[in-house]
Homo-oligomer: A and B are copies of this chain.
Amino acid sequence: MQLNRQDVLDGAIAILDEYGLADLTMRRLATSLHVQPGALYWHFPNKQTLLGAIADHILSGADAPPTEDSWDTQIGQIAHRLRDALLSRRDGAELVAATYASRLTTNHIRERIAAVCIRAGLPRRDAELTADTLLYYILGQTVDEQARLHMDSVGALTPDASPLFESPDPTSRFEFGLQLFLDGVRHTAADRIRH
């Protein structure tokens, strides 16, 4: 039974979900696929590339065209989609943050957000910087949120410090930062229209 690229990718994602990013090693992956470690290097040149492919997979779908009708709800929609995508797999946010780094800002999601900002009245360059700013916020916030979740499940937190009972809850925290950001964009856009 021969392996293909997709099998390796699926196996890697399965390990990620079951054991987390720290335990996603090439050797462990090889074992789970009943293959020698070296075999993986026929399908992926190195681990970094494999992680990149997982990151792409996690993010796929988050950059679909927005269906809302005003620019601010459109950005909100994309932002929530991205957060949901990052939270959809164990350590998803950490993996994307560690792997993508400066590539999130070379992503289709960035273009989508920038496009919405242009429609809101921002010049191209401002729109791109605005998209980057939002992406940094979402990634940071979500990495943090997911790290707390994990700490919680591992019991490293006192019960009343549990993020599950945290007030405000993670989604509200996310919404707060998102609205703060949108207010900033509104102001910048309004300025542009006035001048």
CB within 8 Å of B: which residues of A?
97-98, 101-102, 105, 125-126, 129-130, 132-133, 135-137, 139-141, 143-144, 147-148, 151, 168, 173, 176-177, 179-188
Contact = CB atoms under 8 A, between A and B. Distances in A.
B136 A141 contact: yes
Contacts of A183: 183-184, 187-188
A179 B187 CA distance: 10
Contacts of A139: 136, 140
Nearest to A144: B102
A132 B125 contact: no
B141 A132 contact: yes
Chain multiplicity (copies):
2
Contact of A186 (B130, B177, B181, B187): B187
Contact of A136 (B126, B137, B148, B168): B137
Nearest to A126: B176
Contact of A133 (B105, B137, B186): B137
A143 B151 CA distance: 24
A194 to B, nearest CB: 14
